[in-house]
Amino acid sequence: MTPEEVGQRLVALLAPVEATATVSGGQAHSRATVDVPPDAWRAALLAARDDAELACDYFDWLSAVDELADGFDVVAHLWSTVHRHGVLLRARVPRATPTVDSVVAVYPGAAWHERETHEMFGIDFAGHADLRPLLLPPEFEGHPLRKEFVLASRVAKPWPGAKEPGESEAGGGRRPIRPPGVPAPGEWGTIPTPAGAGGVGEGPRGGT
């Protein structure tokens, strides 16, 4: 099946759910991309797996994209080892209540991916039995892959780059330049919610 046919087939299977099929990428890398409402997320992955024409029996990956005030896109890529085609599924969840059903019962391999996405973006996966931290320490505050999160590694540890000729350890060097997006000392505080978004900010900048 062509990417266009894969997308149209999945949209037909989900009717009367309002799903939209497009094609992403190009040439050999093109993929059917189907956008579904959050409440049809699990049903969409189940249909892609169980339909004989799609037969997407291989779970590739799951993650999210921060769209700021528009919310988050939860994204999953599935592949058919029989028909050699893939499909990219997306569901947009609101920023104030970012929740979608877990698909671990459909694809057990999604368990690790849902834990990481929950940890990095703050998206809840209803029905997942174990959303404990996967990559970060339990005391870490915030979600590092949200766009408003400030990565402050260069504040905690200066960049050890080479000095200009003539500069010495005793001083006299150039004024330190902060990397883009890193606030000056004393500017730490609560991160405001992105313009137009609901809910509250992320709390202390930079995590712990």
CATH code at 94? Answer: 3.30.460.80
Answer whether residue 140 is part of any domain: yes
Answer whether residue 52 is part of any domain: yes
Answer whether residue 163 is part of any domain: no
pLDDT tens for 134-174 read 898 888 888 999 998 876 655 555 555 555 555 545 444 55
Residue type for position 20: T
**Residue range(s) defining the domain that contains residue 64:** 3-156
Output the pLDDT for position 169: 52
Answer whether residue 7 is part of any domain: yes
- Is the pLDDT assigned to residue 207 strictly greater than 60? no
Split into its structural domains, the chain has a count of 1
Answer whether residue 11 is part of any domain: yes
Output the pLDDT for position 80: 97
Q: Are 192 and 69 in contact (CB under 8 A)?
A: no
Q: Where is pLDDT greater, at 199 or 161?
A: 161
Output the pLDDT for position 114: 97
Answer whether residue 34 is part of any domain: yes
- Is the pLDDT assigned to residue 19 strictly greater than 50? yes
Answer whether residue 109 is part of any domain: yes
Answer whether residue 181 is part of any domain: no
